[in-house]
A and B are shown apart, each in its own frame.
Chain A
Amino acid sequence: MNDFIAARSQMALSLGFHIIYSCIGMVMPVFMAISHYKWIKTGDVVYKNITQAWSKGVAIFFATGAVSGTMLSFELGLLWPKFMRYAGPIFGMPFSLEGVAFFVEAIALGFFLYGWNRLNKWFHWLTGVVVGVSGVLSGILVVSANSWMNSPAGFDYVNGQYLDIDPIKAMFNAAWFSEALHMTLAAFVATGFAVAGIHALMIFRKRNVHFHTQAFKIAIIFGSVAAILQPLSGDISAKGAAHRQPGKSAAMEANFHTVPSSPLLIGGIPDTVNKKNNYGIEIPGLLSFLVYEDFKTPVEGLDKIPQKDQPNVPITHYAFQVMVGIGMFLLFAGLLYFLALWWKRKWLVKNWFLKLFIICTPLGFLAVEAGWTVTEVGRQPWIIQGVMRTSEAVTPMQGIQYTFYLFTFVYFTLSVAVIFLLWRQIKMVPQLYDKNK
């Protein structure tokens, strides 16, 4: 494995794990705050129990997200020193604000976790809300830094020099809003369905049914609403990509040829040698419509992009298909939930209904990983779209493959540990949380 591929793999691995920890770390506090609010308002002790059980999950994921985030703030420099040397001053603003938001989150979490029976109940509740709000804000800020790499702004690039730097303009680059919206919704979809799925499993097994039913309800409402809104945000993101990153956009669609009434490809196996797709379903004109809102205008294909500036087409295309496919599936699951909630309440306790949501448990995160692959692999070969190539940014240090192996080991161990801890938390629900019936 050469150093460049090792560095990219290590970065992908680190972000791939961090994205899961941090999504849960930012969304679960919101669920926790809702349940806490219901406990204070209704005095129903089940909500207090749910809040306390979830807060343990939040603590575990916050700790893991905090250390993996600290690792990333170093890995940016350890792996891509030349990128950070030039990009740091331009896109660093959201990172420094994120540092502040993250700090606030850590302080608020200290208050929340240790504040039971010690703080005023509304102040205590408020600290939980602050954990959620600053968590979501941190996420938005980090994604805004990433969006700058896709849509660089706030500087002039003249003869290899980065001039007239404006960090505020860089932060509010053209892609920041669509990316932040898409990622935030994705975090709610993935975490909502994952949390709901675990509670559905416990209902299915007839364990502490009342406790798990109330917990399921809070999580699935957030997950479903976010899943229903997500296609709208996806549309904004895809239109943006088509205009700002035609290479990425064409790879997502495996759109090899610029033709009028560009078709939308569903599924399919891209053949990059013969520049065609096998076995896919093509819907004529739909891609043109999605990008330009009319069925005729040709959408730029890969034939317009020099070979050396193209991303890996099959990976980007498959990842995009997986993301959209899962997104649609979860959208229908979400609609079905509301259908059951409002008209068919007896479905809510049916086995097939619970099984559906158990199946959904990992799907949201699969979609998050796929979407992250689309945006990162789709941006290649650039680390800063159109300005700096990833290969120019990599560290001169040799032997990165060994640090990659080390990180692989660490992240897998960590994930096993987190799953082990969650499993034990769930196992202990009857003893620790749902005991005072």
Chain B
Amino acid sequence: MLHVVIIFLFFAILLYFLLGGADFGAGIIELFTSDNNKSRTRKTSYQAIGPIWEANHMWLVIAVVILFVGFPVIYSEMCTYLHIPLLIMLMGIIARGTAFSFRNYDAIKDEKTQTLYNHIFVYSSFITPLFLGITAGSIISRQIDPSANDFLTAYVYSWLNFFSVAVGFFTVALCGFLAAIYLIGEAKEQSDVKRFTKKAVIMNAVAVGCGGLVFLAAEIEHVHLAYWLFGNPLSLTTIIAASLSLVLLWYLLAKGNTQVIRILAAFQVTMILIAVGYRHYPNIIMMKGGNNLSLLKDHAPLTTITDLGWGLMIGSLIILPALGYLYYSFKAKTD
């Protein structure tokens, strides 16, 4: 049952990245859109994410609940040493979630308040995945130091380092890339398709650039990222698959395809997560001095894991069909 729970944790994180991440990306795209086109971008992205908006962000809640019920030691260590980036991420989540709803449910749509909502929305769309990425980078960066005595070492340098920040920007770029690719399929007019395609190209280039930065930072900070990724057949295969699918994606995009490219973009992100996650699995937090926290060792007692596993399986029997029908009703039907 432990493995069932771990699989659910992986899928919750993956789906949050693919769905919630694309929502963040929609805000990031809006941030980097010229003022003339902002309202068109906003309209397209609103049509794309309006009905499924709240559901996309539930995956984070599911992931956190799995962590604190099933892996309380991992959760509490993360919350202790990464208090600050998590806090900033939360501020982003609260600002973003409310600004998105408020701009839509404000009964009077005047210029001034709408502009305010938009500003809050786009900037928090940038900050939230940045700090989500920083948190993710920090847990494998070996910078968390449980024996630290001073505030800076324990609570600041644990995440404020080149590697974690590079992972943060890489995450932002990936979200933007995902959103641009998704939005191409939502656009109704040819000019919008062109615009989103251009955005996808830029985001892709930025993602590759940030990816390079991550490797560079890894070398400088002695995180054995290259070794993790290329040192074993599975990770190597996923990296090659991701690269090949990218070539295919650009080919299809040039041909005017809008649906398969979404699957390919999601596939690439999935491959990246598997590649990073697999090599040091079951370890999930790598701390200074070689202290690691492992999903297979640092879990809750097995009675809890069993109950949690059943809860998740029965819950997903309700959630997944309902969610599928929601996507079908508002996406497939209207396309």
Contact = CB atoms under 8 A, between A and B. Distances in A.
B93 interface: yes
Contact of A84 (B53, B75, B307): B75
Contacts, number: 208
Given A103-B55, A417-B98, A397 B155 contact: yes
B247 to A, nearest CB: 36
Given A93-B311, A406-B91, A428 B72 contact: no
Contact of B319 (A104, A119, A424): A104
Interface string A396-426: 1111000100100010001001000100110
Interface of A is mostly: helix
A88 B75 contact: yes
A97 B87 CA distance: 25
B213 interface: no
A70 B76 contact: no
B69 interface: yes
A100 B93 CA distance: 20
Interface of A: 56, 59-60, 62-64, 66-71, 73-74, 76-78, 81-82, 84-90, 92-93, 95-100, 102-104, 106-111, 113-115, 118-119, 165-168, 395-399, 403, 406, 410, 414, 417, 421, 424-425, 427-428, 432
B151 A99 contact: no
Contacts of A100: 311-312, 315, 318-319
Nearest to A422: B107
Max chain B C-beta neighbours (<10 A), residue from A60, A167, A410? A167
Given A62-B54, A165-B303, A396-B80, A96 B65 contact: yes
A43 B93 CA distance: 41
A164 B153 CA distance: 38
Given A103-B62, A165-B303, A427-B107, A96 B155 contact: no
Contacts of A414: 94, 98
Interface residues of B, number: 61
Interface stretch (B216-224, B229-237, B323-331): B323-331
Interface string B43-69: 000000011111101101110111011
Contact of A92 (B65, B83, B108): B65
Given A99-B61, A410-B94, A89 B70 contact: yes
Contact of A110 (B55, B77, B91, B301): B55
A114 B75 contact: no
Contacts of B79: 74, 77-78, 81, 84, 395
Nearest to B80: A81
Given A77-B75, A110-B51, A88 B300 contact: yes
Interface of B: 50-55, 57-58, 60-62, 64-66, 68-70, 72-73, 75-80, 83, 86-87, 90-91, 93-94, 97-98, 100-102, 104-108, 151, 154-155, 300-301, 303-304, 307-308, 311-312, 315, 318-319, 322-323, 326, 329-330
Nearest to A79: B79
A236 B58 CA distance: 35
Contacts of B87: 78, 403, 406
B53 A67 contact: no
A427 B106 CA distance: 11
A206 B101 CA distance: 31
Max chain A Cβ within 10 angstroms of own Cβ: one of B66, B87, B107: B107
B83 A95 contact: no
A167 B305 CA distance: 10
A90 to B, nearest CB: 7
A102 B61 CA distance: 9
A104 B94 CA distance: 21
11 contacts: A63-B97, A64-B101, A67-B98, A78-B83, A92-B69, A92-B308, A96-B311, A97-B315, A99-B315, A100-B312, A106-B58
B318 A68 contact: no
Contacts of B78: 77
Contacts of A168: 307
A63 B101 contact: yes
B106 A71 contact: no
A421 B114 CA distance: 12
